[in-house]
A and B are shown apart, each in its own frame.
Chain A
Amino acid sequence: MKRFMNEPQDVVRDYLNGLVAAHPDVLRLDTDHRVLRRANAAARPKVALIAGGGSGCEPLHTGFVGPGMLDAACPGAIFTSPVPAQIIAATRAVDTGAGLIHIVKNFTGEVMNFGMAQEIMAFDGISVETVLINDDVAIKDDDDSAGRRGLGATVLVEKIAGAAAERGDDLAAVAAIARKVAARARTFSVGLTSCTPPERGRPVYVMAEDEMDLGIGISGSPGRDRVKLAPAHEIAAMLLTEVLADLRPAPGSRLLVMLSGLGGTPDAELYLLYGEVAAGLRAAGLRPERVLVGNLVTSLEQQGAALTLLELDDAMLALWDAPVRTAALRWGM
């Protein structure tokens, strides 16, 4: 393993220092609690959005803190959810009294730690709305698993609900649009390699050169099915088939299409794959109204991609287009 690092156990702390050094206009770091929040507190009370999860998935969530998106993020150890004290500190730091929302990806550890944080805050009369993200169609949503993971839809919820909070919508309205986005977005992922957590020093697992994993998540873990590697147009068709079969968009729907790399796939390859996805969408009579391609929800340096489709309505579209200023997404301001 070759990495830019000092000590393997310090990579999260050290990267956060670099992130705030690069974006002092947007970000502040509470080093003691490992909480990242906006540089400038809200000028007037606003609904606050807080998210957190294992590190190694950047820019999720730390790259999405700033005006128009998250108020605070609490990054855990690599691929390990944050702890309750961190979540509580993040929540308290951005509480203006207008309401609090935790955006929680449906991973067992994340759900448990946010749950414990909320139980503890309830002693002080602080109540928090939870918006659960579970858009991964690779997992059957039954009682025989931990349920669908929260993947790419997280970015779309953070952007769209963040814009609603920014323009002054109340808690009920922000929570409602967040849940609506979560309900109308689906994701399916394919992995070409595993990845190497710094403290482990070698890949989580090894896959043959001619294989790929269908239905992976975001921690370098194995996927649902291991199959033979296929040409990009076939992989695009697999991604689309899985997502569309579950999303079932109305004929002629306007879609927000996010094609995220998993950290180790270059932009050119992602655009090559997107070209195939776009052709497939046109053939299916669907309209890619907005498109976001890049490494957005990642697993360290894993090669692979995740396709997220959101069936848009006018309200979501306007909020998606609203200004945002974060380390990783920035337009209109």
Chain B
Amino acid sequence: MASDITTEHLILWLTAFARNVAAGRDGLNELDAATGDADHGTNLYRGTQAFSNMIAQSADHGTPGAFLKAVGLVIVGSVGGSSGALYGTIFLRMAATVGPQVAAIDGTVMANALRAAVQGILDRGRARAGDKTMFDALDPAARAFDGAIASGQGVAAAWQAARIAAEVGAAATAAMRARRGKSSYVGDKSIGIADPGAASVALLIASAAEVMAHI
């Protein structure tokens, strides 16, 4: 089907994400400086550089599932910290949901993959809604994507809905008090500034919406 997501689309997605992380690196570091150690952008950039190198080194990245798994492993192997474990888990769970065989991902499978990614960060990080984590951007994005597909919309429209939900979710973390991760150590001082993990997840989803706008 014309509206299915191929490995080519995923490569465009990750390439756009790498570009957006490079441009947003300092901004993510500043969000992190308010409550943590000011390195979320730097750490994520190390991961996007690593998977960009992987993308450049081969002309054939196999099925979408194989590619998502390779990206997950590269992130787990290069980023470190909680963001490495969580971002790696997002991609590994999406890969597991898609499976190694299928040649293209339809909207329903992509929706399931995003829901599995959300479950992955829950399993790894024990976050709940409102804890001021990347969950607060990824969960609404996955729900919006799922809702759009369930109501008969295409993949492009589903990504747009997910992008808006992720950006609204990330912005809403500013008002939250952190209860997970390093920012939970500073108590009420975490209130007023968005969570850097939620902000970078919004970039991830926006990158997908950007490159799959006409799929």
Residues of chain A having any CB pair with chain B under 8 Å? 54, 76-85, 107-109, 112-113, 115-116, 138-139, 143-146, 149, 197, 199-200, 204-205, 215, 217, 219-224
Since A219-B37, A219-B182, A221-B37 are in contact, a sample of 17 more A-B pairs with Cβ atoms closer than 8 Å, ordered by chain A residue number, is A80-B43, A82-B80, A112-B124, A113-B85, A115-B85, A144-B179, A145-B179, A145-B180, A146-B181, A197-B37, A197-B39, A217-B182, A219-B36, A221-B35, A221-B182, A221-B185, A221-B186
Q: Is B38 an interface residue (CB 8 A)?
A: yes
Chain B residues with CB under 8 A of A138: 185
| The residue from B36, B43, B76 contacting A84, defined by CB atoms under 8 A apart | B76
Closest 4 CB pairs of A and B: A109-B81, A112-B85, A109-B82, A145-B184
Cβ contacts under 8 Å, B169 to chain A: none
B80 engages A76 (CB within 8 Å)? yes
Q: Chain A contacts of B186 at CB under 8 A? A: 221-224
26 contacts between A and B (CB under 8 A): A76-B81, A77-B43, A80-B84, A83-B80, A85-B76, A108-B181, A108-B182, A109-B80, A109-B83, A112-B124, A113-B81, A113-B84, A145-B180, A146-B180, A146-B181, A197-B37, A197-B38, A199-B39, A204-B33, A217-B182, A219-B182, A220-B38, A221-B35, A221-B36, A221-B182, A221-B186
A108 to chain B: which residues have CB within 8 Å?
Answer: 82, 125, 180-182
B77: interface (CB < 8 Å): yes
Residues of B with C-beta under 8 A to A85: 76-77
Q: Is the interface of A mostly helix, strand, loop or mixed?
A: loop
| Residue ID in chain A nearest B42 by CB atoms | A199
B155 to A: closest C-beta gap in Å: 31
Provide the residues of chain B in CB contact with A113, threshold 8 Å.
80-81, 84-85
Chain A residues in 8 Å Cβ range of B86: 112
Q: Chain B residues with Cβ under 8 A from A219's Cβ? A: 36-37, 182
Residue B187 at the chain A interface, CB threshold 8 Å: yes
Are B184 and A144 in contact (CB-based, < 8 A)? yes
Query: Are the C-beta atoms of A145 and B39 separated by less than 8 Å?
Result: no
In the assembled complex, how far is the CB of residue B25 from the closest CB belonging to chain A, in whole angstroms? Answer: 10
- Taking the closest CB of chain A, its distance from the CB of B162, in whole angstroms, is 25
Q: Is B80 within 8 A of A78, CB to CB? A: no
Q: CB within 8 Å of A: which residues of B?
A: 29, 33, 35-39, 42-43, 46, 76-86, 88, 124-125, 178-182, 184-187, 189
| Chain B interface helix/strand/loop/mixed | helix
A residues near B83, Cβ cutoff 8 Å:
109
CA A140 to CA B39, docked complex, whole Å: 25
- How far does the alpha carbon of A317 sit from the alpha carbon of B185 in the complex, in Å? 32
Q: Which residues of B contact A107 (CB under 8 A)?
A: 182
| Chain B residues whose CB sits within 8 angstroms of the CB of A204 once the complex forms | 33, 37-38
> What residues of A have a CB within 8 angstroms of the CB of B79 in the complex?
80, 83
State A217–B36 Cα separation when bound (angstroms): 10
How far, in angstroms, from A249 to B186 measured CA to CA in the complex?
27
**What separation, in Å, do the CA atoms of A58 and B189 have in the docked complex?**
28
State how many angstroms separate the Cβ of B38 from the closest Cβ of chain A.
5
Q: Which residue of B lies closest to A8 (CB)?
A: B42
With contact pairs A81-B81, A83-B80, A116-B85 given, residues A149 and B38 touching in the complex (Cβ less than 8 Å)? no
When distances are taken between beta carbons in the complex, the residues of chain A under 8 Å from B84 are 80-81, 83, 109, 113
Chain A residues in 8 Å Cβ range of B39: 77-80, 197, 199-200
Most buried by A among B35, B76, B80, B181: B80
> Nearest CB to that of A299 among chain B residues?
B37
Q: Tell which of A200, A215, A224 touches B29, judged by Cβ atoms closer than 8 Å.
A: A200
Indicate if the CB atoms of A84 and B77 lie closer than 8 Å: yes
Chain B residues with CB under 8 A of A115: 85, 124
* Assembly CA distance A199 to B80 (angstroms): 15
Q: From B83, B84, B189, name the one whose CB has the most chain A CB atoms within 10 angstroms.
A: B84
Cα distance A145–B188 in the bound complex, in angstroms:
11
Distance to closest chain A CB from B66 (angstroms)? 19
